[in-house]
Amino acid sequence: MSMVEEKFKKLGVENAPGQELLQKGVKLDLKGEKILGEKIDFSHGDVDAHKPLPNSLELFIEGFNKGGIQAYTEYKGNKEIREYIAGKLSEYIKMNIPADNLIITPGTQGALFLATGSLITRGTKVSIVEPDYFANRKLVEFFEGEIVPIELDYFNVNEKKAGLNLKQLEEAFKSGVELFLFSNPNNPTGVIYSDEEITEIARLVNKYNVTVIADELYSRQIFDNREFYHLITKNINQDKLITIIGPSKTESLSGFRLGIAYGSPTIIKRMEKLQAITTLRTAGYNQAVLKSWFSEPDGFMKDRIEKHQAIRDNLIEKFKTIDGIKIRKTEAGSYIFPTLPELEVNLGDFVKILRIYANVIVTPGTEFGKSFINSIRLNFSQDEKKAAEGVDRILEMIRRYKK
């Protein structure tokens, strides 16, 4: 097998959210009858139930009508729009971000790709958290870095912490890790890192001269009035940090593919060079839509958070009705990540059973770390009623297959 073939063998997409149709037909041992019900796809949010930011389409049309000047922006994005976003983000994190230290990318996936591609080459030691966003591992592998995993013990920790194993992190940094990549709020668990944890991460990366990519995609959708701590606001070497955020989730703008990375000017410059050969730029007209972000109508964010908090509470109550299901309450974002009791089929088959016989799509825990063979992830940014019915069907299947 050639080197390229080997590399791509690792890069599976069949179990990635939204890719379920690629799963090959298999014979599954169905217990009982199919469970009928309206299809629900928990692999991503439902932008029909929670609509894109008002004004987003109008801004796109305005961008289109501007013509060439909006079609052909600088590779890192239209300057005026970067200035708008830099101003809004500065207010948001309460710290000044210059527009030149910011790049507009095709989604936060684009930002992650450009950031990792700017920092990882073969043999670069990279720490990623387990569990964490499924693409993190794939990105490190694609760029031929070496993964040094860090455990997030999100169950066995008091609720004020995320549960990052900071000792393990320091050991990893001591052993030569050059890059630490993590999401906060964590995807898939929905936990937030505590002030103490974030402060300690900052201290350790300074001490060991490590670079950090902090993926804060979900940081605007915080429940129960919790506090959120941005790593960039801590005492941290500002040239070693890239923060990522975007309007795809909380603001439902995923169909426009828009993301932002900001921080270290050294790294942003590399990301711009890399963007020049990946997609040239984020689609020009789409960039104009960013002006709807952080300018939501009064009450939009409050309403959004309340609605999601209510869905969360309802679904978590349901999961708790079955013995042996472990679940930690989501603190931010739209995910729940329950651990299921031991089942008579393996996780891969169970996920297919849910899809084929219960019309419910979930993402298997193994996408977020090899050891999560009993977990499933649900994006609960859904229609409330459909989500509740979907979870009822999941629970019924768990009852049938529970050992």
Footprint of a second copy (CB under 8 A): 3-4, 7-8, 11-13, 16, 18-19, 21-22, 44, 46-48, 52, 57, 60-61, 63-64, 67-68, 70-75, 106-107, 109-110, 112-113, 118-122, 124, 135, 138-139, 142, 254-257, 270, 272-274, 276-286
Closest distance between a second copy and the C-beta of residue 343, in Å?
A: 28
Please compute Rg for the chain using Cα positions.
Answer: 21
Cβ atoms within 10 Å of 122's Cβ, excluding its own: 8
Nearest CB to a second copy, comparing residues 99 and 139 = 139
Closest distance between a second copy and the C-beta of residue 225, in Å?
A: 30
Closest distance between a second copy and the C-beta of residue 344, in Å?
A: 31
Nearest CB to a second copy, comparing residues 139 and 205 = 139
Nearest CB to a second copy, comparing residues 139 and 398 = 139
Dist CA 354 CA 188 (whole Å): 19
Name the 3-class secondary structure at 262.
Answer: strand
Closest distance between a second copy and the C-beta of residue 238, in Å?
A: 18
Dist CA 179 CA 173 (whole Å): 9
Cβ atoms within 10 Å of 280's Cβ, excluding its own: 12
Dist CA 188 CA 132 (whole Å): 6
Q: Quick one: CA dihedral 62, 96, 191, 188, positive or negative?
A: positive
Name the 3-class secondary structure at 257.
Answer: coil
Nearest CB to a second copy, comparing residues 255 and 324 = 255
Q: Where are the alpha helices (DSSP H) in 191-233?
A: 195-208
Nearest CB to a second copy, comparing residues 178 and 197 = 178
255 phi and psi angles, rounded to 5 deg: -65, -15
Nearest in space to 107 (alpha carbons), one of 264, 228, 287, 343: 287
Nearest CB to a second copy, comparing residues 112 and 150 = 112
Cβ distance 366 to 346 under 8 Å? no
Region of residue 299 (phi > 0: left; psi between -120 and 50: alpha; otherwise: beta)? left
Nearest CB to a second copy, comparing residues 30 and 57 = 57
